[in-house]
């Protein structure tokens, strides 16, 4: 069974507010308690993100574990985005953080928490032949770049999306979730 979107366990006792990551330039540690009270979309990629102006904060956290698609150093990422991929002077309109491992023995504790709070999505790992750079592989691992986690204002994960889910579907899911929140409040 291929499930590409999962609702997370919002009864978890932990929150993203207990974690943090250094900003892309590596000079400032950003505790995610800074985002308390806001919906946050965490994406394990820093390229062009077509989800904006929908009522949440986007946090881009790059990773080089999928086909070595983010090989540059942290201080090279912004230039690569601006001039190469996607290029054309692109400047991200969301907060970027330093590269971290999202899977394996060295995975960042934030991603350990997110993966434990949300059921796995998808039924396959991107292109596993010589393209996945971590061990051991686990069913709950992030499958490829662009996997997304929506986190509520209380810091608890709400939803998780498989990387290949179309941006319009992610947007529709988030808007539906926001609509349900408004209905509950009335």
Catalytic residue check, 8: no
Closest CA to 142 of 19, 67, 44, 53: 44
Check: CB of residue 39 under 8 Å from CB of residue 157: no
| Dihedral of alpha carbons 150, 60, 18, 101, sign | positive
| CA neighbours closer than 13 Å in the CB half-sphere of residue 69 | 19
Compute, in degrees rounded to 10, the torsion defined by CA atoms 52, 8, 176, 34.
-40
- Comparing C-alpha atoms, which of 35, 24, 44, 22 is closest to residue 114? 44
Separation in Å, CA 16 to CA 3, 40, 126: 24, 10, 26
**Size of the chain, expressed as the number of residues it contains:** 186
Query: By the 8 A CB rule, do 49 and 150 touch?
Result: no
Please identify every residue annotated as catalytic. Answer: 49
């Amino acid at each position: 069974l291929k499930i590409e979107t999962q609702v997370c366990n919002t009864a978890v006792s932990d929150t993203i507010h207990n974690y943090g990551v250094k900003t892309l330039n590596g000079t400032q540690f950003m505790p995610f308690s800074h985002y308390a009270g806001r919906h946050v979309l965490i994406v394990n990629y820093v390229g062009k993100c077509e989800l904006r102006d929908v009522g949440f904060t986007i946090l881009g956290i790059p990773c080089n574990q999928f086909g070595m698609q983010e090989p540059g150093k942290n201080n090279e990422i912004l230039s690569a985005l601006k001039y190469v991929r996607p290029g054309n002077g692109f400047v991200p309109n969301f907060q970027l953080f330093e590269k971290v491992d999202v899977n394996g023995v060295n995975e960042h504790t934030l991603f350990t928490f997110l993966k434990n709070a949300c059921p796995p999505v998808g039924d396959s790992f991107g292109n596993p032949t010589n393209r996945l750079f971590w061990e051991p592989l686990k069913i709950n691992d992030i499958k490829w770049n662009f996997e997304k986690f929506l986190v509520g204002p209380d810091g608890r994960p709400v939803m998780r999306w498989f990387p290949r889910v179309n941006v319009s579907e992610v947007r529709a899911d988030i808007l539906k979730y926001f609509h349900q929140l408004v209905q509950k409040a009335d």
